A and B are shown apart, each in its own frame.
Chain A
Amino acid sequence: MTMVSPYVMRETGGNLARNIVMTVAAVVTMAVSLTALGGVLIMRQAVNKATVQWQGGVQVAIFMKPAASTQEIAAIRHELDGMVPDEVKSFRYVDKSQAYTEFKGMFSGEPDLVKVMSPATMPPSFRVVPAKAQNVQQLASNYNQQPGVYDVGYPGQVIKDTLAHFSTLRTVALIVAGGVMLGAIALVVNTIQLAIFARRREVAVMKLVGATNWFIRVPFMLEGLIEGLVGAGLAFLLTYFARDTFASFTGSDPLDPNQPLYVSSHEALLTGLFIVVVGALVGALGSGFAVRRYLAV
């Protein structure tokens, strides 16, 4: 290809080196912006996944009082039976001895605690899988008031908190990413403008002797593209390893496939590639704009 001749590579390299401070500024800004974007994307993937898991596996536990009468228990069971399958997907009854077995398993590390409890003191419970995750709250408030019910436990608050937490984070991160992205574009435009100005004599001679417009433009456009790509490359690395950092504020380990907020390397890689494409686009657009604006050919 004649376009990427040694000449073009030399010119592009020279341009990048000549304005090294501006080049670094543009690249770093690009990297920061794209990292913020990448972080949001990674978070979204993790949270989407976690939400799906919760939605598939949400359980509501209706704990009866240990002293609840057989009639009270039967009443609840009857009511739950009536709700299958529209509101309740399935449910099972955990009686006192099963509850005790479960309890022993959960607190096997604390034999003293297990010793003071007996099957008689354990609350029987209904484990209910609602048909829709949204029904959780309604179910909970329904049964809270029933006679013989001690408490209704459900993970709704956790879901809500996490989603709210994420949504704020996402908004902030997107605003930051957008703002910094504008800065990055402005810096790319400015770097190219400086490069064009620094080489105005060469450009004048090139026009004079009949170099084609594209021949004159390509080194400048490549310069912007390279700035975008390098910035995106940095952001790619940061995002990819951001999975580790992500663990610190969600409390779960994104590298552990058993955790709800797990992000696979594959997903992180795709996000990284997406970011590289965005970076290249931003670089190319910025330099394209600068070339159109400041390089009348």
Chain B
Amino acid sequence: MIRFNHVTKTYKGSVTALRDVTVDIPRGEFVFIVGPSGSGKTTFLRLVTKEERADDGDIWVAGKEVGALAPWKVPYLRRNIGCIFQDYRLLPDRTVYQNVAFALEVIGRSRHFVHSQVPQILELVGLGKKMDRRPNELSGGEQQRVAVARAFVNRPLILLADEPTGNLDPGTTAGIMRLLERINQYGTTVVMATHQQVLVDSMRKRVIELERGNIVRDQARGVYGMVDA
């Protein structure tokens, strides 16, 4: 589903974010990308959505080579990818329902489709009764659930999560993780960047560890630290 082939990315000022990274993430997998701040986790995710361009190597997402994709096709690539972030990125002047519906409206989905999908997905994330609230009336965990609903409402092939639980307490974090696991069970490939050790250790999923742009570990059913390496 996602394949990096000797990918290198350097930002201006010769900061190397990723160096010769080769990795293959098959369909339906749940992967953690771990490492300290500045290790290249976010760059990895931004390369998948083509928000950044690789300097070297090629990247394949959902069967397409991202680097060779014409600019006008990039939106269509992104329709296959859902994204969530540490800061939720909800629209404050819209209700929960409108926030999720927005994601469908702007890709030209019919009103009928929007009406049928949005309540369903909000039920799935456990916000069926809070559809008319605005983001500032919700807790952090609830806001992240709205973000998950928005990312998943178009049934993407891939869900990218950049530190999604960074602002949440452990109890709420567990809830979000259960939600992501559930989405993964529907067949969506989930790639989650985090530096929360407890979280990774408890899940026992594949772990890719980055350090200053290099992959230093790629381990099935791993934990955050190198303790059982």
Q: Which residues of A contact B (CB under 8 A)?
A: 2, 5, 7, 201-202, 204-213, 215-216
Q: How far is the CB of A87 from chain B (nearest CB, A)?
A: 70
In the complex, the answer to whether B75 meets A201 with C-beta atoms within 8 Å is no
Contacts of A201 in B (CB 8 A): 89, 91-92
Nearest 9 pairs of A and B residues by beta carbon: A210-B78, A210-B79, A211-B106, A209-B103, A210-B75, A212-B75, A206-B106, A7-B105, A208-B83
Q: Which residues of A contact B49 (CB under 8 A)?
A: 208
Docked Cα-Cα span, A211 to B91, in Å, equals 16
CB distance from A272 to the nearest CB of B (A): 37
Determine how close the nearest CB of chain B comes to the CB of A153; give it in whole angstroms. 73
Interface magnitude class on chain B:
20 to 34
Is B60 interfacial (CB 8 A cutoff)? no
Known contacts A205-B91, A209-B154; A7 and B75 CB within 8 A of each other: no
Q: For the complex, what is the distance from the CA of A198 to the CA of B20, rounded to whole Å?
A: 40
Partner of B108, one of A5, A202, A216: A5
Interface code B57-90, partner A: CB below 8 Å = 1, 0 otherwise? 0000000000000011001111111110000010
A210 to B49, CA, bound (A): 10
Do A209 and B107 touch (CB < 8 A)? yes
Q: A210–B77 contact, CB under 8 A?
A: yes
Bound: A215/B72 CA distance, A: 11
A2 and B150 CA atoms in complex are apart in Å by 22
Nearest chain-A residue to B103 (Cβ)? Answer: A209
Closest Cβ of chain A: how far from B20's Cβ, in Å?
A: 28
A7 touches B91 (CB 8 A): no
Kindly identify which residue among B89, B92, B108 contacts A208, using a CB–CB cutoff of 8 Å. Answer: B89
- Helix, strand, loop or mixed for chain A's interface? helix
- Whether the pair B108, A215 counts as a contact (CB closer than 8 A) is yes
Could you tell me the distance between the alpha carbons of A204 and B78 in the complex, rounded to whole angstroms?
13
- Give the residues in chain B near A5, CB-CB below 8 Å: 108
Give every chain B residue within 8 A of A209 (Cβ-Cβ). 78-79, 82, 102-103, 106-107, 150, 154
Which chain A residues border B106 with CB–CB below 8 Å?
7, 205-206, 209, 211, 215-216
Asked if B91 and A202 sit within 8 Å, CB to CB, the answer is yes
Of listed B49, B83, B92, B103, residue having the most chain A CB within 10 A: B103
Q: Which residues of A contact B91 (CB under 8 A)?
A: 201-202, 205
With beta carbons under 8 angstroms apart, the residue of A2, A202, A211 that contacts B75 is A211
Contact A207 B78 (CB under 8 A): yes
Interface residues of B in 139-160 (CB under 8 A from A): 150, 154
Which residue of chain A has the shortest Cβ distance to B84 in the bound complex? A208
CB nearest neighbor in B for A6: B111
Q: Which of B97-113 contact A (CB under 8 A)?
A: 102-103, 105-108
Q: How far is the CA of A185 from the CA of B80 in the complex (A)?
A: 39
Contact partners of B82 in chain A: CB under 8 A:
209
B131 CB to nearest chain A CB (Å): 18
Q: Which residue of B lies closest to A209 (CB)?
A: B103
- A211 contacts B107, CB within 8 Å? yes
Q: Which residues of A contact B78 (CB under 8 A)?
A: 207-210
How many angstroms from the CA of A212 to the CA of B80 in the assembled complex? Answer: 14
Docked CA distance A201–B147 (Å): 14
Asked if B89 and A204 make an inter-chain contact with CB atoms under 8 angstroms apart, the answer reads yes
Chain B residues, Cβ within 8 Å of A206: 106
Determine which of A202, A204, A210, A213 lies in contact with B107 in the assembled complex, contact meaning CB atoms within 8 Å. A210
- A sample of 26 inter-chain contacts (CB < 8 A) reads A7-B105, A201-B89, A201-B91, A205-B102, A205-B106, A205-B150, A206-B106, A207-B75, A207-B78, A208-B78, A208-B83, A209-B102, A209-B103, A209-B106, A209-B107, A209-B150, A210-B75, A210-B76, A210-B79, A210-B154, A211-B75, A212-B72, A212-B107, A213-B75, A215-B106, A215-B108
